[in-house]
Amino acid sequence: MLDLKAVRDNPDWFRTGLGRRGQAEAIDRLLEADARRRELTTRVEALRAEQNTASKAIGSADGPDKQKLIEAVGLVSAELKLVEPELEAVEAGLDRLLAETPNVPHESAADGLEEDDAVELHRGATEIRDFAAEGFTPKDHVALGTALGILDIERAAKVSGSRFVYVLGDMVLLELALVRHALDILMQKGFLPVIPPVLVREEALFGTGMLPDAEDSIYKTQDDLYLVGTSEVSIAGFHMDEILDEADLPLRYAGYSTCFRREAGSHGKDMGGMFRVHQFDKVEMFTFTTPERSWEEHEFILSIEEEIMGNLQIPYRVVNIAVGDLGAPAAKKFDLEAWLPGQDRFRELTSCSNCTDYQARRLNTRYRSGDPALGNVMVHTLNGTATAVGRTMIALLENHQQADGTVVLPEALHPYLPESAHVLTPRT
């Protein structure tokens, strides 16, 4: 959430920043609620002090004076019974406003309120194949996966409903290869591998800003636990309510987990295949760092995502997401969009976001600054997808398919696969 003191000290900066999201009025609502809270707090404190003073005086008074003091205390108590509930309501409203107000976008985040306002920055080295020049029409991943005997969507629908898939045979080995490939790269770059819980409490989801922002897409159990849509949630909560040592930063984690999303409101969109499913696996990067180096870390995470995509020889482009399409916690976000021949367009495969101190303030995660004047400072948190397994397998199948129906997997994955799985072959 935003730093309310900073909003109070420099409201115009926050209005301008959130104005780019179309939410400048949120600052005025915050300031109005904050002013009312401080006004009521002052009044409650004054009444309590008056009540305490009069109550003490009653003990040493007698006669008419004592009766007057009792009456005065009664009047003060009666007013407190009116003012205290109002203060509680105003505080609750202010907390709700803070929870709902998004982060201020970085000045370098792309302008615009729509998804199509994202700005392409550059493309990867792998070129888009000209399948027509090669003499055949590319198939989509569903047709390929069915012919190869590695995907079964019909049986998944029978067992679980739409947006589920059975992954079979060499596709399972491919998934594990993708995970190990990503983890090996991340470990070399200082990330600690983590298999986190996939069921979390409400506090963890609130801390990352998934609540209330993305509530419709989250599964909740009867035990008041939530299934994570990304291991970002579990890892962000790892240091909740902790004070870290500056010398230990940055702390980098690579979380591998199954993820769950309801995809509420997306009926009819990407219904076929495994592009948009309720259950998927992912390797996620998460960093706790200082404000001074968070933007450098953002570029670092992006470079890792590009390295992985380059190794897999997937054509991609990097786009700077428009401020209106940012999630509530993010100040800036890059997407890596892979070219999918089956859809004849670029689609999001991975992303990385700098959430500055927005999540840390909700999670109460700080570090001991070396500057005595600063004391304990909120960390900055960043996240990025190293490998979204399902979508990456789609990109691999579609981009590396051959005219004879085989799929030749990139050499970067060969060390993680049996030789028989270097080339996926249709069932006879």
Residues that are catalytic? 261, 276, 348, 351, 391
* Partner residues linked to 72 by β-bridges: none
How far apart, in Å, are the Cα atoms of 333 and each of 109, 298, 329? 7, 9, 10
Beta strands in 261-412 (DSSP E): 279-289, 316-320, 332-340, 345-354, 366-368, 376-378, 380-388, 407-408
DSSP reduced 3-state for 313: coil
Residue 182: φ, ψ to 5°: -65, -45
Residues constituting the chain: 428
CB 185 within 8 A of CB 307: yes
Element (H, E) at 4: helix 4-9
How far apart, in Å, are the Cα atoms of 191 and each of 70, 187, 301? 66, 5, 11
Closest listed residue to residue 317, CA positions, set 106, 47, 134, 118: 118
CB 389 within 8 A of CB 175: yes
Q: DSSP assignment, residue 272?
A: S
The sheet carrying 219-220 orders its strands as: 199-200, 226-227, 219-220
Residue 286 burial (C-beta neighbours within 10 Å; 0-12, 13-18, 19+): buried
Closest listed residue to residue 328, CA positions, set 23, 34, 115, 29: 23
Residue 334 burial (C-beta neighbours within 10 Å; 0-12, 13-18, 19+): buried
Q: What is the rounded CA–CA span in Å between residue 366 and residue 190?
A: 21
DSSP string, 198-237: SEE-HHHHHHHTHHHHTGGG-EE-TTS-EE-SSHHHHHHG
